[in-house]
Structure formats: C-alpha cells, structure tokens
Structure 1
C-alpha cells in the first residue's frame, strides 16, 4: 500500500512540474514575441529620430490590420506597451524566464529605473506571482525600505550581490498588514491580531521579507514555576537566527520591551545553537515611541520596535515618513 501511494505521489509530482514548466515556457515565448514586435515597431517608428506623429499613425495602422486577425491583444494601447517594453529592455538576455507578460507590464508602470530593477530582482528571487508583486508595489515596499537603509544597499541585496548581515537589515518599519481585513478604528485584541496573522501566514511572511520560515505560535516558556507565552517565533535562514515577534495593539511601553528582551535572552541562552547568530526580537505595535525604545534598551540590543498599519499608505504619507526619517538621521549625526 505504501509503495502504491509513493509511486502515485511521485507521478503526480512529475505531472505538476511538467505542466508548470510548460506554462512558463509558453509565457516566456509570449514575452519574447511581444519584445520582438516592440523592437520592429521601434525600428520602423524611430529610425534614430523622435517622430511622434508618424509613430501614432503607425500604431493605429498596425492595430487596424492586426486586431481583426489576432484579437484585442494587439490594440493600439498594447502595441504601445510592446514598444515601451523593448525600449526598457533592449537586450533579450535581460529578460527573465520566470516572469510573465503581466509581471513586465506592471514593471513598465514604475516611475524609476531603480524601483523597476528592485522589484524585478525581488520577483525572480522570491518567485512572486504577478499578483504578489503588485501587492508589494502597492504597499510601497521599496520606499519603506529606504526609511532604514540606502538605495545602493537595497539594490545590491535584490541583485543577490550581498545578503542581510545585521538584524536591522531584516526589520521593516512600518509593516503593512492590509490583507488581514481588520479595521483601524475597530476594537480588537492581540489574540485577534495573532489569529489573523496565522490565517494569512503566507501574506505575512511575504511582508516580512526574505529568508523567513515559521516556527511556532504561543511558544511556552517555563521559568521557575512561571509560564510565559511567546506570540510568534520565526527563523531567518539568511541571518541564521531566531526571530521572535510580540504583538501589541497599543502604544508600546518599557514593560513591553523588557518582556520581549527576556524572551530574546531565553532563546539566546537555551534554544540557540553554537553555529547560530543571536536572536532578534521585533515588537510589532500599533504606535511606538522611539525615545522610550532608545532609553529602555541597551545600545547593542537586538530588540526592535516596528509599527504596523492595517491599510496601504498613500504616496503622501510615505513621503512624509521618509522626510521625517531624514530629519531624524540628521539630528543623530549632529548629536
């Protein structure tokens, strides 16, 4: 019976992988076709010069000829996408077989080369679907990372040129949790937040970033007759360390930070193996006070406070946060 079950499972796996490979191959051929069409249009349209009027006439002419035979996929607007696609990726070797045309259309909508390159590399590295990539763009992952690190470092990590080397490199602030469906103004408890995160664990790990794997929920710690329960425990394989996340639905206090520091100490002294790096603690809270964090924790602490939002930030909100962060950094430099 076990042998029969094993061979069925193996064959099912072979079929699934073959089908996935076939779908990827078809998608890539479609991407190459659109690239070649864009290249031909660009060559005819530009001829080394900007001739916008002729270009507009050419696209309309091609659309009128192609749509009756090949469908709406060759509308004037789509032909414009193909031309832009070639102009953005003029070398075919730069195209990634893992990405579909839907991925590329979203990338072409980005307003800077740095952002495009970042999301392209991250989508490939993390095997994001186009929907997952769109969600990361909508949550402004690139801009949020700029709050805590520099542009070159973000791109170097995205290109796999280097990996996070310090705990602060894996901590995002804020974390965007709009996928939970919780209302900012509604009344909910920490257990409700925790349950929602577990229900949407895949989305939460996508938001946390690279290298995270889930370990435990409500991990019991017994200390000399007293029991404590750690909300969420993860492991980050890039830093090779445990990551403990405590959830608070209020503005953090020094007691909250002290509690998390105790959990971090426990994992460092009891759970951590000799080859692993020190444990990281993240206090995920609705509102934080940077001054309380600064004076509660030692300077070399691996405990961090990160705010969470239950909605996607607007561009204006994020711009204000980046501006405020720049001012904070300048104040630190002047101290």
Structure 2
C-alpha cells in the first residue's frame, strides 16, 4: 500500500464515517429520550434512498400508502384516547384531523407529483417529507403505549419493527437494488486523490446537520425540553414537559436524519430493501462507542468505524463486516469494567 492508495481509503472512510456519524447521533438521541435502542434506524436510510429511486421512475412509491395507513391507525388511536379522556365528540374529531392532516397532505402531493417527473431536488424533498412523517406516527402506534416498559421489552419491539419494515420494503421496492443519481458530478484533483462532488456534499451536509442539531439543543425551547427528558424523564414530566411529545419529536428527528442519510449515500452505492440493517448497525457501533450517551464520542467513533471499514475492504474485503462489528466487543468489555454494574431498573 502506497500513500495514494492510503489517501483514497482514508477519504472513503471519512465519507462513510460521516453517514455513520449521523446515524449514531440519531440512535443516541432516541435512546437518551425514550430508552429505545432503535434498531430500525437503518430502515429509514433504505426507505429514503429507495423512495427517491421510485420517484425517479415516475411511479408512486409504496411508502406513500404505508404513510396513509399508519396515519389512519395513529389517528384512530389518538381519537379514542381523546374520547376516553374528555368524552366529547369534538375533541375526538380534532385529534383525528390533527393526526391525519400532515401525512395525508404529503401523500396527496407526492401522488400528484410522482408522474410529473419534477427535478431531482424536488423529488428528494418529497422523499424526506415522506420518511420523516413516519417518525412520530411510528412512535404513536408502536412505542407510546410502552413508554414505561423495560429496556429489554423496548428492544424486542424494535427488532419486530425492523423485521416488519424490511418485509414491507421488499413488498414496496422489490428485490432489485437501486442507485440514485449524484447531486453533484463534479470531480476535483487533490494531490493523489480524486475527490468527487458527492463526497463533498456528504461531508458538508453531515457537518452542517451536526451543527444544526447542536444549535437546536442549545438554543431552542424544544431542544432544551428534549435534553431535560433525556436527563430525567420523571423530573421533566413534573415540570410540565410531555414525554409523549418529546418521543414523537425525537422519532421525527431520527427519521429525518435517516432519510437525509439515505439520499446522501444513495448515489455512492446500490441500495437494496434490506441494506439499511447493515448501515444502521454500523451507526449502532458508533453509538456504543459513545456509550449511547455521548454525541461527540459517537461522532468520533463513527469516523473510526468508517476508516476501519475502508482499510479492511482493502486488506481483507471478505471479512470487512466481521472486523467492523468485532470492534464492539472490546468496547463493551471496557465499558463494562469501567462503569461497573447496576440493576436494570436504575
């Protein structure tokens, strides 16, 4: 291996690590606020990339119909909860409409726009809107009633959601993989390294999104409410912060991050209906490096994972996944020895 090959591998590692950093931050965020180890994070990535791919063909993606069905179920649940609480038809109707209006509007706009072959950026925006809308609906249908369950129960439910989304992905997108067009085809020569525009977009967008997340948590009221919920759920509830609203907002942010990650990674590799699992697991490794608590450590861990993956693909391509996922073992051992043991309830 000479310097030019090492430089190319390092660039690939940083590019992939930028995606894993976003996924790792999303997993840390969801776990901190809701205590859910969010296994389906990778499915948001696959759904984002494949929804855009279907829109590119001029067809209506199946995620549109899933969004409408999920919105209908969530609306009925919210309406029934409002009726039980207030016993007023108007309150139940308002809850029904409030839940349906945004998802149905997104679905209707997408169904109208899909055959018209709008530019790539418009289709990308529609894809992000569709996948982001899944977040709060998924929290309402799956996780809200289990908010006080143990972490193990929430993990089992997350595994079930992952398998359900993977099966639906096969139904919606088929077994054939898709590769989306690049958002920027320009190439630049940087010494011995040939840098393409998509890699620049990935790194820039990832850095910008991380900065925006930091600003959100530091400067906005909603961000501070999420931080309070992550630190002490009971204390936040006593101070008037709705943990259900915090959970919905957290899942919406996770879905947004996943959708954007799918759009960024789509032009660099072929995405299949089940590709999100491996991508999400690498983000999970980064989150574990951060102890499922530290955002900076998760971001640094993601870059480390991306670089290890890139160099492993050169030295032992058949075992690169094994090498990456084996990283989690010494990290878990070190954290177990460093933090000691405590009861699950604490």
Normalising by the smaller structure, the TM-score range is: under 0.3
Q: Which has the higher strand share?
A: 1
Using the size of structure 2 for normalisation, the TM-score is 0.27
The answer to which structure, 1 or 2, has the higher relative contact order (CA under 8 A, 6+ apart) is 2
Q: Which has the higher helix share?
A: 2
Using the size of structure 1 for normalisation, the TM-score is 0.27
**Radius of gyration: which is bigger?**
1
